[in-house]
Chain A
């Protein structure tokens, strides 16, 4: 089992709709969870982190965490063409809090 798993996509969502991106992780002791956005040919850009169960909202982005199910998600409301990118889930391991493990990413495409 991979430490951080994501559906590779591509996920195609119409403009203005909600995009839902999912991630599961294997280290039950992990405490914090990150979402990065990566445009083609560019480096990852940190967009959100969450460490408490429940929801965390930042503008059009909402991160959701369920530690019991080892599941974290990212919702993007009112999707825009500029949201088309690969979204990476990243999880620092419990045993080594600074060893941050990335999923393979979900490619999101917003269609006009």
Chain B
């Protein structure tokens, strides 16, 4: 499978715990994006990387959220001290550099905070 891969697909955690999600982009894609989606809403931009550089981070993203892409390949999104409001689908997408940025999504990680 050469598409965007996300793990785990589902995560249930207790409030206050830390969680980490992984995204493996399409191999030749150097741009990687993280989005969050709640029921009935469109994907909400969180952050994006070009190679290993994090070029933009949403103002909506609290300091409990951090993302890395250490070698410009896979990326991780960590949420510290999870809250019930963090329950959502976390989506990763990747694209080639250049315009237009055709972004392709992984299957997402569904987080439930109990």
Does A98 contact B43, Cβ atoms closer than 8 Å? no
How many angstroms from the CA of A98 to the CA of B95 in the assembled complex?
Answer: 9
With contacts defined as CB atoms under 8 Å apart, how many contacts are there between chain A and chain B in the complex? 66
How many angstroms from the CA of A88 to the CA of B44 in the assembled complex?
Answer: 12
Does A99 contact B56, Cβ atoms closer than 8 Å? yes
How many angstroms from the CA of A44 to the CA of B35 in the assembled complex?
Answer: 11
- The distance from the CB of B106 to the nearest CB of chain A, in whole angstroms, is 6
Q: Residue of A at shortest CB range from B97? A: A98
Is B50 part of the contact surface with A, judged by Cβ < 8 Å?
Answer: yes
Given known contacts A43-B105, A98-B48, A31 and B40 CB-to-CB distance under 8 angstroms: no
Given known contacts A43-B91, A88-B43, A51 and B100 CB-to-CB distance under 8 angstroms: yes
Number of interface residues, chain A, beta carbon within 8 A: 26
Is A46 part of the contact surface with B, judged by Cβ < 8 Å?
Answer: yes
- The distance from the CB of A29 to the nearest CB of chain B, in whole angstroms, is 12
Chain B residues near A90: list those with CB within 8 A. 103
Does A101 contact B45, Cβ atoms closer than 8 Å? yes
Is B55 part of the contact surface with A, judged by Cβ < 8 Å?
Answer: yes
Does A92 contact B101, Cβ atoms closer than 8 Å? yes
Interface mask (B81-110 → A, CB under 8 Å = 1, otherwise 0): 000000001010001000111111111100
Instruction: Name A's B-contacting residues (CB within 8 A).
Output: 4, 6, 8, 31-32, 34, 42-46, 49, 51, 88, 90, 92, 96-105
